Amino acid sequence: MEPLEADTSSDSLVRLSEIERLTSFGGKYEFLGIVDTLIHQAVFHIRTSKKMWGVNEASILILASASLILGSWDFGIGELSGGGDWGRSGIFGEDSGFLHLDEWTRMLALLSIMAWASSIALMWVRFPIMRENFFFLIVAMFAVQFGYIFSHTSSPNFPFDSEITDWGGVIFTNLILLFVCWFVVHRAVVETRDIHVEERHAHPDPRVVERAWDDHRLHAWSSSLAIWGILVNVVSWSGSHAIADRPPFDYDYGIIGPSTLFVFSGVVSYFFLLHILWYPHFMLGGGDHQIWSSRAREVAGQSNVSVARSIQGSCPVCGGETPVTKRPSGRIEVRCSNSDCSGQGKPGDACVKCAEILPSRVVCPSCSSNTTVVSHFSKAEAW
């Protein structure tokens, strides 16, 4: 993978394809194969992040955690637990609610805003190729938070004792979140990954190309994006729920209940957000690519002609993959029949590695049929 050259030496990092799978659930139950894949990739992500995350990443998480704690805890002041003057609202003006807060509460609120803004700024600077997608994720996160606030205004105990109409804000903003996560960010990263592998890891040996694809799998990263979306909902609900009731209160939210859930889920959500931004930056080498979808590239006028791919041969009898390849130029190449040799070339020519004559007929590994090399690229007749 390119980032091994961009960020650190290749001696200190291993590739995804070099890590041994720890589980084999798919061997017993095929539908559990995805579990093996996720665990395999998660081990790689954890090992790599331990070596590559440093002061910048720690600062981001510390500032994000501080912003959550400073903005949601009373620290003995009593403003939140007492409910404040809920009849006042706004930030500017003589009668604004913000200016009538206790001085210590106002200071904590400003410190919380500063810590949050600093963590966002650090992520913006640290991962330049993800900036556009980062902006969309922040917008979607705010949208969901406003959706829960809207739902709590008419139903303070939401989702309990709520009407169908109270769900409108949450449903609408979650559709925005789903669109941003799946159709904007996920699609942009996947399609940029495809271009990266096709351009940077092109090789005459399809086995080398296949290994490059294996090194750039995104199952674990996609799972992080999904988990982050769920955590955004947890953070938004707990934050809104903690302050939704009107005083006087019969309970104290100081260090228990929704406030605790808000801080805990918020810290974890920032960890996943950091991972969502970091991994594409690491995988793509940190600076050569704009992470856009193919449609966005077309709109921006930066759409490149698709890179012509080599075509892998398929058995004319059973349809299984065979060790024959057709290059974009139309040249057909076959792997050397010598099991100890990895060379390949034009059928009938001498192998450049072991000098053995390359075969003009190939035995299918699946059905053992012996057919000509050319027949492995002929289309089946339509009936």
| CA atoms of 160 and 150, how far apart (whole Å) | 15
Residue ending a domain, choose from 239, 274, 298? 298
pLDDT digits (tens, 9 = 90+) for 5-15: 334 343 457 88
- Whether residue 57 lies inside any domain: the answer is no
- Whether residue 161 lies inside any domain: the answer is yes
Do residue 325 and residue 207 come from a single domain? no
pTM: 0.72
Do residue 227 and residue 262 come from a single domain? yes
Do residue 162 and residue 291 come from a single domain? yes
Do residue 204 and residue 270 come from a single domain? yes
Flag whether pLDDT at 80 surpasses 80: no
Do residue 37 and residue 12 come from a single domain? yes
Do residue 36 and residue 169 come from a single domain? yes
pLDDT digits (tens, 9 = 90+) for 143-171: 999 999 998 888 888 888 888 988 999 99
- Whether residue 68 lies inside any domain: the answer is no
Flag whether pLDDT at 181 surpasses 90: yes
Tell me, rounded to whole angstroms, the distance of Cα 191 from its chain centroid: 13
**Tally of domains in the chain:** 2
Q: Which of 292, 293, 288 is nearest to 7 (CA)?
A: 288
β-partners of residue 333 are 325
Do residue 346 and residue 271 come from a single domain? no
Neighbour tally for 231: CB within 10 Å: 21
Residue ending a domain, choose from 268, 298, 328? 298
More confident residue, 354 or 175: 175
Do residue 44 and residue 170 come from a single domain? yes
Residue ending a domain, choose from 237, 264, 298? 298
- Whether residue 86 lies inside any domain: the answer is no
> At a CB cut-off of 8 Å and minimum separation 6, what does 274 contact?
57, 60, 61, 123
Flag whether pLDDT at 177 surpasses 50: yes
> At a CB cut-off of 8 Å and minimum separation 6, what does 332 contact?
324, 325, 326, 346, 347, 373, 374, 377
Can you give the residue range of the structural domain that contains 40? 3-52+127-298
